[in-house]
Chain A
Amino acid sequence: MTNIDELTPVEDGHEMRALIRRTSNNQRARRVLISRVMMTLCAVAIAIAIVPLALLVYQLLRRGIPVLSTTFFTKLPESPSLTAPNATGGVSNAIIGSLALNIYASMMAIPIGVLAGVYLAESNSKLASTLRVIAQTMAGAPSILMGLFAFSLFVQDIKIGFTAIDGSFALAVLMLPVIAISSEISVRNVPNTLREAGLALGAKPHKISMKVVLPSALTGIVTGVILALSRAVGETAPVLLVIGGGYLNTWKPLDPVSALPLMIYTNAKSEWPSLRAEVWGIALVLVVVIFVLSLGARLWASRKQQVRN
């Protein structure tokens, strides 16, 4: 190593500068080494995290793509038999069922969730803080609980039987706290200066909420709704106990329906290899739907943000 001391002559009265430069130079090799080791560790950690995910996607594509066909999307399920062991039919009932369940659930959860979020953000009352704790707890509650709740309420107490509406109710209860919390955060993030601007123009508080705060928070609210929806689409547990696993294409709220996650659950346990293979196609469809939903939410939010700036 070169003699650093010679390269950094000490000026009178500035001994500290020389000391810092010398110390820093002496430690350079060690710093570089630590930096390389740390970077390597980070890379390894990323690899460990990504490898299982990549394998999963690979399996999903390799086994899922061959299953997909027009029949898969448009026909009702069939039961394989000894004479026709590969006759699995399609999953149209589960596609329609999943759509119906999530549309009804959204119709229940979005308006209530968004309004609840606005209330949580704008109110300082005891009730609001209590509700916030409940929402946060609910957001972390196991999803089977929602199914159990819907089961006891609709099937056992009200006795309307195993129907789509039971399942959408369970999904709505699942989505509600997620939407409420994300809406609250978005509304809170709206700068107070905008509320003050509204007040200073003589606007009443509810007008400010509707005309100023909600539009400004819309990007965040929609993102939250889509994320809640993409979680609901893939949930099996809440619908498992209540939707009845109907074998028909039906949009009626009071009919028993099937759902994509439910079909994965039932088919995966089947004796028939053809049904077990079909599961990968259903899983692929689900993953694509969820991927499109979350990607769409992100793109929409970032475009909206760009337009504004």
Chain B
Amino acid sequence: MEEIVSELTVNSPKQPEAPSALGPAAMKLDNVAVSFHGRTAVRDATFEVTKNRVTSLIGPSGSGKTTLLRALNRLHDLTPGTKVSGRITLEGEDIYRGNITVTELRSRVGMVFQRPNPFPTMSIYDNAVSGLRFNGIKKKEILDEAAETSLRAAALWESVSSRLKVSAGQLSGGEQQRLCIARALALDPEVLLMDEPTSALDPVATLRIEELMTTLKQRVTVVIVTHNMQQAARISDDCAFLLMGEDRAGELIEFGPTQKIFNDPTDSRTLDYTLGRFG
């Protein structure tokens, strides 16, 4: 049993960081719950997403990880019958009731999806700058520079710089996903939400995205949903563990530094899950 624990351990587990000394929060969740047509999908989510760290949301299927993630950029808005309660703030501003418009929020909180979804009718270049164009930026010099910067940040520039006008559909799955990351980064967001970004990729492509994430957190705060506990252990600094409750609604069981969640969790269910006893 101890072997498994050490395998999942990140860095040095001897000196767990104190949860209070993490730094300023990019987003705060206070008692957040999401319901669809009156049926609660996830609740009791209270935690802080700390700046320039990777926060992972883990838990078995149906625990509400993705639902919670999509509340952070109001992607539920267009789904009829969805209600988000509690309080979510970005830089102290309530994203549901504050002055911030939904389009502004989404340009500040970017998202990468489970399956790579580049726009198939657009070239690599057009995909990279699509977010800027959607937001009304047309100047060629600005777009050119943003395309290069974001493709470099997504570790894609080297392989695509000579074929920027080629359709995005011609890239491999891993490259497409990095293009989607570049597309989100082009808007220079404060937070990047990633919904199981490697679940549709092969191990090599997965590794490249994981490497990318550790460098990305210097410029953007990352929140990632993952099914893969090893991945959460490898790349995240903080970790939220969710579980489906008695009434089939997901709830936050425990939140803390990843090392603590994996090595010394407060709740026995967290330990059972991270050790692979269920889920």
Chain A residues at the B interface, C-beta cutoff of 8 Å: 124, 191, 193-194, 196-204, 207-208, 211-212, 215-216, 218, 307-309
Contact = CB atoms under 8 A, between A and B. Distances in A.
B106 A199 contact: yes
Interface in B204-240: none
Given A201-B134, A202-B104, 4 more contacts: A194-B120, A197-B118, A198-B130, A216-B119
A188 to B, nearest CB: 15
5 A-B pairs with the lowest CB-CB distances in the bound complex, closest first: A202-B107, A203-B134, A201-B131, A200-B111, A215-B121
Contacts of B184: 200-201
A216 B120 contact: yes
Interface in B138-192: 167, 169, 180, 183-184, 187
B273 interface: no
B117 A211 contact: no
B75 interface: yes
B85 interface: no
22 contacts: A191-B117, A193-B113, A194-B120, A197-B113, A197-B180, A199-B78, A200-B73, A200-B75, A200-B106, A201-B106, A201-B107, A201-B110, A202-B103, A202-B104, A202-B131, A207-B134, A212-B119, A212-B121, A216-B121, A308-B120, A308-B121, A308-B169
A197 B113 CA distance: 8
Nearest to B136: A207
B24 to A, nearest CB: 24
Nearest to A200: B111
Contact of A201 (B120, B121, B183): B183
Contacts of A198: 119, 130, 134
Contacts of B107: 201-202
A124 B130 CA distance: 27
B115 interface: yes
Most buried by B among A124, A193, A198, A201: A201
B80 interface: yes
Given A202-B187, A207-B134, A197 B117 contact: yes
A194 B119 contact: yes
Contacts of A202: 103-107, 131, 134-135, 187
A218 B233 CA distance: 44
B133 interface: yes
Contacts of B180: 197
A307 B167 contact: yes
Interface residues of B, number: 30
A307 B169 CA distance: 9
Contact of B133 (A191, A200, A211): A211
Interface of B: 73, 75, 78, 80, 103-107, 110-111, 113, 115, 117-122, 130-131, 133-135, 167, 169, 180, 183-184, 187
B75 A196 contact: yes
A198 B115 CA distance: 14
B169 A309 contact: yes
B89 to A, nearest CB: 19
A215 B103 CA distance: 22
Contacts of A215: 119, 121-122
Contacts of B121: 212, 215-216, 218, 308
Contacts of A204: 103, 134
Contact of A200 (B110, B118, B120): B110
A254 to B, nearest CB: 40
Nearest to A191: B117
Nearest to A214: B121
Most buried by B among A196, A200, A201, A215: A200
Nearest to A190: B120
A105 B278 CA distance: 64
Contacts of B183: 197, 201
Contacts of B133: 211
A300 to B, nearest CB: 15
A308 B120 CA distance: 7
A191 B105 CA distance: 23
Contacts of B131: 201-203
A199 B109 CA distance: 11
A193 B187 CA distance: 19
A309 B166 CA distance: 11
B73 A201 contact: no
B75 A193 contact: no
Contacts of A199: 75, 78, 106
Contacts of B106: 199-202
A208 B103 CA distance: 12
A191 B115 CA distance: 11
A203 B103 contact: yes
Nearest to A304: B121
Contacts of B167: 307-308
A255 to B, nearest CB: 41
Nearest to B134: A203
A254 B131 CA distance: 48
A88 to B, nearest CB: 50
Contacts of B73: 200
Contacts of B122: 215
A258 B187 CA distance: 58
B123 to A, nearest CB: 11
Contacts of A207: 134
A212 B131 CA distance: 11
Contacts of A203: 103, 131, 134-135
